[in-house]
Structure 1
Amino acid sequence: MPDAPLGRPAPDAGTAPVRSLLIDLDGSLMPLPGMQRRLAGGSMTRIGARDLASRLRIVAGKAALSSLRQRIAAAFPIADGPPPLIFYGSGDFHHLATLFLEALSGPVLVLHIDNHPDWTGWPATSNCGAWVNWALELPSVHRIVTVGPASDDFIRPQLAFANLEAIRQGRLEVHPWRAAPSRVWGRPVEGPGCATRNGRIVWQCLEGRSWAEVVDGFDARLPLLPLWVTLDKDALIPAEAVTNWDQGGLMLDAVLALVRRLAGRRRILGMDVCGDYSRPIFSDPFRALLSAADRPRLPEPDPRTAAAINDTTNIRIMQAVDEMAAMGLWTS
């Protein structure tokens, strides 16, 4: 991907930081120097939620979700909407993105960067593999555009209860980084990024394409609606993120280039970021079973290396958001 940077701006030492939120669920963020500097500078607010983590990881219990919603509302009044930049730890908590989306006034276009499509319909709970379906039910969400998956979710998506109907309806777009054709039964699945041929969904994958052309295509085609970005860093290459899931092939420069281009003609409402590393520890068999059934077995990374890599990437994200806000492209 030689053209990925696509005009990456130089940092501006005088750029004021945007309001941001750190939800401390799993302890992955608090030790990172970049977060410590933001907190010390006063532009970032911390919400303690480690007491809720065991009831929110993988699957969100209703009481724990309600408690977290109340804590966020106490720090950021619902009438003001969510803060424009949110970090909340492991991708095991990605379903919490619905909390931020439900606080927005629609219609909103959601740019979903992830190594997994998070489109399954089973189990029928608020969980990290199914949150896209819950988000599509929110009155504020006009469309979700998923970019970057390279996981095995495309092998037989119907058997995993993937929400292919949302693609047919134009409510959901999925643009994999890489994916083999998917066996499909019944009505064909057609939409931006895919087409059905001879009983298989053929995906228009991003790997190997000119990123400048990819960005141009998204900008020209997507509606000119306010935009929310949700980023699970497992979409990034291992040199730029260390997560507790399998990872994709995107580079952070490419992701930021796409966001900057879309921001040129759309108001960016904000961004939530997950995918920091924490060990998936469970206190109940239900969540442990779901995790074991879906999560690939991966070697445990060196904690210091993981923290250093993730801190660098988080700092780059924060700097890019600050720069876009200074240019008037981001809600600050």
Structure 2
Amino acid sequence: MTIALTVLDTDATLTSQPAIRDRLAAAQARRIDLLDLGPSLRLWAWESDFDAFRARLPQFRSGMTNVFMAGSGDFHHLTAALVERADRPLTVIHFDNHPDGAWSFPRRHCGSWVNAALALAHVRKMITIGCCSDDLARLGGRTPWMQALQSGRLEVHPWSRPPATLRRGVHRIPGHRTEGRTLHWNSLAGTTWDGFVDDLVRQVAGETLWISIDKDVLGPAEAATNWDQGSMPLAYLEEALAALASDAPIAGVDICGEYTPRRHRHPAKRLEAWIDQPNDAPAGTAINEATNARLLNLLEAIL
């Protein structure tokens, strides 16, 4: 096995899953107990709480691909601290139903971590794949995410999105067609996935990669999450991972997107979750166990 699996136990969703429990029992994975920090980290975190998380992070294991699992997508902003620890220039490949490039307060927010990653000097580029979210309906402003998108340092490849409305000051987005204040996304649905993956592999040739996966990029038949979900088939995600791993060194992988009941203590978090997240729990979370097992088996086979 060439991966070093670390379970960031933020919300108690992972350690009872057979594929993860068995690896922990066999010393093929390590668990970092973050249950006490989980409520303060979930959804967003003050800088002091984020620093407390940083202090608990173990050293990356050398000579192996470090793989992290972090519970709900409400913890996706922890990825910024993981990428920060990497010791070499990176291209980040980001599979997600959401672009995670909002301009938010506090700064450490699961919906804005891409800005924090783009601010790191050793992150050369980020490529976001699979979005269906309405976050891409209106674009504008001089946020770091928008500036990176316009410069080409950030690429966004939606799975399926109708045209977006552009606000003042947005003239073009590389890789997509604009007409006046309308942006026509080049959506992946209906295109040849093999062709897209081949182009992606060629584009990142010679780069060291970090891969970040939020399972809400998948449809409800293959993941159960706290957020609205996309439509990318798991088999497509697996195909992309295998192709990328065959042609480029991968410094790390992080996976989130479990379902955790909303039990926020902070009133602002309760309000935000009520506004932004589906009100009903998914029909069942056992599908996450199957998907996680498939992803871990694949990563162990290809890395």
TM-score range normalised by the length of the shorter chain: over 0.9
Q: Which residue of 2 aligns with 1:13?
A: none
Tell me, yes or no, if the aligned pair for 2:2 and 2:64 is still in contact at 8 Å. Answer: no
- The unaligned stretches of length 5 or more in structure 1 are 1-15, 326-332
Q: Does 1:282 align with 2:284?
A: no
Q: TM-score, normalised by structure 2?
A: 0.94
- Deviations for 1:86-141, whole angstroms, at most 9, x for unmatched residues? 10100000000011100112310100000000011123511011000010001221
Q: TM-score, normalised by structure 1?
A: 0.86
- Deviations for 1:64-105, whole angstroms, at most 9, x for unmatched residues? 2222212113xxx26849961110100000000011100112
- The unaligned stretches of length 5 or more in structure 2 are none
Q: How does 1:187-266 map to 2 (within 5 A)?
A: 187-192=170-175, 194-266=176-248
Tell me, yes or no, if the aligned pair for 2:140 and 2:169 is still in contact at 8 Å. Answer: no
User: What's the CA shift for 1:161?
Assistant: 5.8
User: What's the CA shift for 1:208?
Assistant: 1.2
Q: Does 1:320 align with 2:285?
A: no
Tell me, yes or no, if the aligned pair for 2:65 and 2:250 is still in contact at 8 Å. Answer: no
Bigger shift: residues 257-266 or 245-254: 257-266
Q: How does 1:42-61 map to 2 (within 5 A)?
A: 42-61=27-46
Q: How does 1:92-131 map to 2 (within 5 A)?
A: 92-131=74-113
Tell me, yes or no, if the aligned pair for 2:246 and 2:302 is still in contact at 8 Å. Answer: no
AA aligned to 2:302 is M
Q: How does 1:268-307 map to 2 (within 5 A)?
A: 268-295=250-277, 297-302=278-283, 305-306=284-285
Distance 1:155 1:264 in 2: 35
Tell me, yes or no, if the aligned pair for 1:90 and 1:243 is still in contact at 8 Å. Answer: yes
Distance 2:19 2:184 in 1: 41
- Alpha-carbon distance change, 160 to 91 in structure 1, aligned in 2, over 3 angstroms: farther
- Alpha-carbon distance change, 87 to 244 in structure 1, aligned in 2, over 3 angstroms: same
Give identity over the alignment, percent: 34
1:170 equivalent among 134, 142, 152? 152
User: What's the CA shift for 1:162?
Assistant: 7.9
Higher strand content, 1 or 2: 2
Secondary structure of 1:50 counterpart: coil
Q: How does 1:148-159 map to 2 (within 5 A)?
A: 148-158=130-140
User: What's the CA shift for 1:217?
Assistant: 1.7
Tell me, yes or no, if the aligned pair for 2:11 and 2:260 is still in contact at 8 Å. Answer: yes
Root-mean-square deviation over aligned CA pairs: 2.0
Tell me, yes or no, if the aligned pair for 1:234 and 1:242 is still in contact at 8 Å. Answer: yes
Tell me, yes or no, if the aligned pair for 1:106 and 1:142 is still in contact at 8 Å. Answer: no
Secondary structure of 2:14 counterpart: coil
Distance 1:111 1:180 in 2: 23
1:37 equivalent among 15, 22, 36? 22
User: What's the CA shift for 1:186?
Assistant: 1.9
